[in-house]
Amino acid sequence: MALVAVGGYVALPQILRSQAERNLSQSFGLTVSLATVQFNPFAGRLEANNLVVANPPGFTTPYFLQVRRFAVAVAPWSLWGDTVHVKTFELEGFQMNLEASNNGLNMANVVTRWLGQKPQSSAPGGPAPERRIKADRLLVKDVEISSRLAVVGLTLRSDTVRLPTVDATNLQNADGSGFTTSELLLRIAANASENALQENLGPLALPLLQQLNEAARQLP
């Protein structure tokens, strides 16, 4: 029995990684991969490394979004409820590639998908509703946003800007219900891009980031 328990504990990180990749891929509508996931249920702490969100087909930048490391500290009692209470949500190495090409914008399908997602019902036999997240503090360090204009695979222009740390508190909807995972990710991206709008950006990055901010404003 002890060996079974030990084996289950050893296998837990791999199970969590597969589950997280599946849920995030569904949320983005794009392939999401994680290098490692570690979770301590007693401390309510999860850490993961090298989260990569692939680009939609037809784009040439290496990925749409990458987070080198993220750590989440939650109130353990909230893990069994409909809304997870996150004490701190820390991301390090947040890199986003915005690409415009003859295929359109790589972020267009992602943002459209996020804005179009509706809360799932808990009807019998149907999928369980997506759990929501309320965060006391969000800390995003080492933020970099790159923009690229390409035609038939040839780069016509590219800009990269490094941004100051994003430090936000009390992340929840006006009604206090919290965000879905995709809504929270859009908030993070929009918060980073709002800082970027204050920088000296090229003519390509500016309209792309303005579109991202406009999309975030449409969230409840």
The dihedral built from the CA positions of residue 165, 112, 35 and 120, taken in this order, carries a sign that is positive
Residue 122 within any structural domain of the chain:
no
| Region 125-134 average pLDDT | 67
Residue 10 within any structural domain of the chain:
yes
> At 117, is the pLDDT very low, low, confident or very high (cuts 50, 70, 90)?
low
Instruction: Assess whether pLDDT exceeds 90 at residue 50.
Output: yes
| Region 138-162 average pLDDT | 78
Residue 57 within any structural domain of the chain:
yes
Give which of 73, 65, 74 is closest to 34, Cα–Cα. 65
Instruction: Assess whether pLDDT exceeds 70 at residue 193.
Output: no
Residue 123 within any structural domain of the chain:
no
Q: Residues 20-42: pLDDT tens digits? A: 888 888 878 889 999 998 888 78
Give which of 155, 30, 29 is closest to 101, Cα–Cα. 155
Instruction: Assess whether pLDDT exceeds 50 at residue 121.
Output: no
> At 1, is the pLDDT very low, low, confident or very high (cuts 50, 70, 90)?
very low
| Region 181-200 average pLDDT | 66
Residue 54 within any structural domain of the chain:
yes
Helix, strand, or coil (residue 219): coil
Of the segments 28-32, 79-83, 108-112, 212-216, which one has the largest average pLDDT value? 28-32
Q: In this predicted model, which residue has the larger pLDDT, 143 or 200?
A: 143
Q: Residues 61-84: pLDDT tens digits? A: 899 999 999 899 998 888 788 888
* Structure-token pair, residue 159: 């800009």
Residue 181 within any structural domain of the chain:
yes
Q: Which domain holds residue 16?
A: 2-117+130-217
Q: Looking at the DSSP assignment, which residues form a beta bridge with residue 89?
A: 72, 138
* Structure-token pair, residue 204: 């390509």
Residue 157 within any structural domain of the chain:
yes
Give which of 111, 118, 136 is closest to 193, Cα–Cα. 111
Number of domains composing the chain: 1
Mean pLDDT of the residues in the chain: 75
Measured in residues, the chain has a length of: 220
* Cβ neighbours for 78, distance < 8 A, ≥ 6 positions apart: 84, 85
Residue 125 within any structural domain of the chain:
no
Render the burial of 34-67: b for 16+ CB within 10 Å, e for the rest: beebebeeeebbbebbebbbbbbeebebebbbbb
pTM of the model: 0.74
